[in-house]
Amino acid sequence: MTTKIHLLCDGLGRPLRFLLSAGQKADCEQASALLEGRHARAVIADKGYDTDAIRSLISRRGMQAVIPSKVNRKHPIAHDRELYKQRNRIERCFASLKKHRRLATRFDRNDSFFLSFIFLAASLFWL
C-alpha cells in the first residue's frame, strides 16, 4: 500500500493543508482541492502539477503559476526561476515531517490514523 501526501504550505514553509491520495494517482488531480479557498501572489509547484487545467485555475484566481514545464510538453511554458528556488521550503517541510519515524515508514495502515498523525506533527510547526 502506497500513499502520497499532498501538501500546501505558506511562504515560511509552514504546512497549511494536507491531502492523501493513492500512490498510483497523478499529483495534478489534487491541485484544485489543495488550492480551494486560498489566495496568494504565486503558486510554486513541481512538474507533476504542470497541466493546462491547473495553470488556468491559478490564473483565474489572480495568482502567478511558477511551475516548470514537463519534458513532453510540445511548447514549454517559461517560469520565474528565481521564484521557483523558494520551492525548497516545501521540501524542507516534508523533511521535517518525515523526521517522525511513524510518518516516514507509514506505520499506520488506516488512512485516518495516518492523516491524524500528519496533523499532529504539523501542529509542531505552529507552536
- Positive or negative, the Cα torsion across 34, 60, 29, 52? negative
Tens digits of residue pLDDT in 102-120:
888 887 888 888 889 999 9
DSSP 6-40: EEEE-TTS-EEEEEEEETTS-GGGGHHHHHTT---
Q: What is the pTM of this model?
A: 0.84
Q: How many domains does the chain have?
A: 1
User: Whole domain around residue 59: which residue ranges?
Assistant: 3-126
CATH of the domain at 53: 3.30.420
Mean pLDDT of 30-38: 90
Residue 123 has a pLDDT of 92
Tens digits of residue pLDDT in 44-67:
999 989 999 999 999 999 999 999
